[in-house]
Chain A
Amino acid sequence: MFDMAEEKFTAIVVGAGPSGSTAAYLLAKEGHDVVLVERGTAPGSKNMYGGRMYSHALNRIMPEFWKEAPVERPVAQETITFLNGGQSVSISCSNMSWATGPYHSFTLLRADFDAWLAAKAEEAGAMLACGIRVDELLIDGGRVIGIRAGEEEMLADVVIAADGVNSLLAQKAGWAKMFAPSQVATGVKQIIELPAETISQRFQLEGNNGAARLFVGDCSNGMQGGGFLYTNKSSISLGLVINVGELQRCTVKLCDIMEDFKSNPHIAPLIEGGEVAEYSAHLVPEAGVAMMPQLYGDGMLVAGDAAGFVLNLGYTVRGMDFAIASGEAAARTVIEAKARNDFSRQGLSRYLDLLKQSFVLRDLEAYRKAPEFLENERMFKAYPKLVTGLAGKLFTVDGAPPVHLMKMVLGQIKQSGISLIQLARDSWKGARNL
């Protein structure tokens, strides 16, 4: 395919996702020899996520990237919906400023977007090598010196492992333990095609504005997890994310839970008439700093999903902005290390400082207790029931004797089986940790 055994790169970046491509782009822009290795035949062809990227991280690196990047819709409307059988309660927030520059977030599809970002790296001078699965790290005296893919070996000053959540390279280096089932979630998604005008009308969106919806309650069969819906230009990304620890005890097929979700009376009308164009699945790192591998060492850095850089607070779910910013931090670290020609653990320790200075480790640290808080099963069973039950009562007029709000609320809490002490404790913890 190509022979580069004799050549030594400054950096081998494994994985042409947002993290790897950002790192390769920044390194190449500074004139460094960098090869971006991707196992898919095209960048993005192995990648999937829920559906939305917060813009801030990429906008700092490529100002106004949306003018050329294949984005779908700027999100102008956020909704969280509690589901309980035939009942639902939604909290919705629209903000038109989110859909004007600098756009707050975009829905986008990874096959197009990741290919575009990798092409930017290529344009900047990185060598893009697709269709290559990296099999092993080359290690010499405890130091990573390159990679092996099939018969092919490549050498570099540093390897940037941006190889995704399964993080085989970090595990091979002994830097990451195999994660526990409760530390990751499985995301499944269907792309459902609908005409653009139908989507705009159905979700009451002006022009090309987009909507993001999260669902909690019986869509996950009471398991820790939830549903999501993002509007693309002419398709809807609809899916579920369910904790794998929960899946271990589940005796309903995940693909059937997904089909149930689609036929839920609150979801079905939103996708009515749509054609399924793709079904995808991916793991999501959920444990935050608790599952972080060793991030740097002799000759290697770990970035993006491979480092567990995802933050789910229940109302915002972030991964791509962390991936991009960690790719940026990795590139800056390598640039500084190259100037000193020191790629030892010590020489690459700057990576940690840069991650702490950026929002990546700052935010993950600030919300370090959020994953634990969201493991509380009341979030997925009792509270959706309580909220929908209460709202249902509030809006029902049926000739029954009047009940004042206080009594109604207390009655519903009693019915939900949550004690007032639990409620107070959960509210306190939620307010502090989220």
Chain B
Amino acid sequence: MLGVNKFVVDDEQAHIKVNKEICSACEPKPCTFACPASLFSIKDQELSFDYAGCLECGTCRVVCPHAGVAIEWRYPRGGFGVHYRYG
């Protein structure tokens, strides 16, 4: 579904960073279900996250049981990220 969107991916900076240690220990990992773009997944028992298709909604930041600690959340740098043509 993300393929239809227009993105300008920032290859130099990830705007969202996850803390591998805290996230691996997190039991429910609600981010893997709640992220509308489904960018959080479990690979080799570790949380894997790809910021490239981010819709910049902020759901992960709020849904995280370790909010404020496990996820370092910012908007992409100016000019980068999703570019809605409809909205």
Q: Report chain A residues within 8 Å CB of B82.
A: 45-46, 280
A278 and B36: CB pair below 8 A? no
Q: With the chains together, A253 CA to B38 CA distance in Å?
A: 7
Q: Given known contacts A255-B37, A283-B57, is B2 in contact with A45 (CB within 8 Å)?
A: no
Q: Given known contacts A131-B78, A253-B38, A254-B34, is B83 in contact with A248 (CB within 8 Å)?
A: no
Mask: chain B, 52-67; 1 = CB below 8 Å from A; 0 = not:
0001111101110101
Residues facing A in B64-78 (CB within 8 A) are 65, 67-68, 74-78
Q: Is B5 an interface residue (CB 8 A)?
A: yes
B87 and A109: CB pair below 8 A? yes
7 A-B Cβ contacts within 8 A? A130-B78, A133-B76, A244-B34, A250-B34, A253-B38, A276-B4, A279-B55
Q: Which of A176-184, A293-301, A330-338, A373-381 contacts B (4 or more CB under 8 A)?
A: A176-184
Q: Report chain A residues within 8 Å CB of B5.
A: 278-280
Residues facing B in A9-58 (CB within 8 A) are 39-42, 44-49
Q: Is A173 an interface residue (CB 8 A)?
A: no
Q: Report chain A residues within 8 Å CB of B86.
A: 109-111, 191, 235, 277-278, 280
Give the A-binding residues of B (Cβ under 8 A). Answer: 1-2, 4-5, 8, 28, 30, 32-38, 55-59, 61-63, 65, 67-68, 74-79, 81-87
Q: Could you tell me the dominant secondary structure of chain B's interface residues? A: loop
Give the Cβ gap from A355 to chain B, nearest Cβ, in Å: 25
B83 and A278: CB pair below 8 A? no
Contact of A111 among B4, B37, B65, B85 (CB under 8 A): B85
Chain A contact residue count (CB 8 A cutoff): 52
Q: With the chains together, A258 CA to B34 CA distance in Å?
A: 11
Q: With the chains together, A49 CA to B84 CA distance in Å?
A: 11
Contact of B4 among A187, A235, A278 (CB under 8 A): A278
Q: Report chain B residues within 8 Å CB of A49.
A: 87
A248 and B87: CB pair below 8 A? no
In the A-B complex, the 4 residue pairs with the closest CB atoms: A110-B87, A281-B36, A131-B79, A281-B57
Q: Report chain B residues within 8 Å CB of A165.
A: 58
Q: Report chain A residues within 8 Å CB of B62.
A: 178-179, 181, 184, 244, 283
Q: With the chains together, A120 CA to B85 CA distance in Å?
A: 19
Contact of A178 among B8, B67, B79 (CB under 8 A): B67
Q: Given known contacts A254-B35, A255-B37, is B78 in contact with A149 (CB within 8 Å)?
A: yes
Q: Report chain B residues within 8 Å CB of A253.
A: 32-33, 38
Q: With the chains together, A48 CA to B83 CA distance in Å?
A: 11
A186 and B36: CB pair below 8 A? yes
Q: Report chain A residues within 8 Å CB of B61.
A: 166
Q: Given known contacts A39-B78, A133-B78, is B33 in contact with A251 (CB within 8 Å)?
A: yes
Q: Report chain A residues within 8 Å CB of B59.
A: 186, 244, 247, 254, 281, 283
Q: With the chains together, A381 CA to B63 CA distance in Å?
A: 23
Q: Is A132 an interface residue (CB 8 A)?
A: yes
Q: Report chain B residues within 8 Å CB of A278.
A: 4-5, 84-87
Centre residue among A165, A179, A277, A282 by max chain B CB count within 10 A: A282
B84 and A247: CB pair below 8 A? no
Q: With the chains together, A191 CA to B4 CA distance in Å?
A: 10
Q: Is A114 an interface residue (CB 8 A)?
A: yes
Q: Report chain A residues within 8 Å CB of B33.
A: 247, 250-254
* Further pairs besides A48-B87, A109-B87, A111-B87: 5, Cβ < 8 Å: A45-B87, A181-B63, A254-B36, A279-B36, A279-B37
Q: With the chains together, A254 CA to B59 CA distance in Å?
A: 11
A280 and B77: CB pair below 8 A? no
Q: With the chains together, A41 CA to B5 CA distance in Å?
A: 15
Q: With the chains together, A111 CA to B84 CA distance in Å?
A: 6
Q: With the chains together, A253 CA to B77 CA distance in Å?
A: 28
A41 and B2: CB pair below 8 A? no
Q: Report chain B residues within 8 Å CB of A191.
A: 86
Q: Which residue of chain B has its CB nearest to the CB of A180?
A: B62
Q: With the chains together, A178 CA to B85 CA distance in Å?
A: 30
Q: With the chains together, A284 CA to B1 CA distance in Å?
A: 22
Q: With the chains together, A149 CA to B74 CA distance in Å?
A: 13
Q: Is A348 an interface residue (CB 8 A)?
A: no
Q: With the chains together, A23 CA to B56 CA distance in Å?
A: 24
Q: With the chains together, A179 CA to B67 CA distance in Å?
A: 10
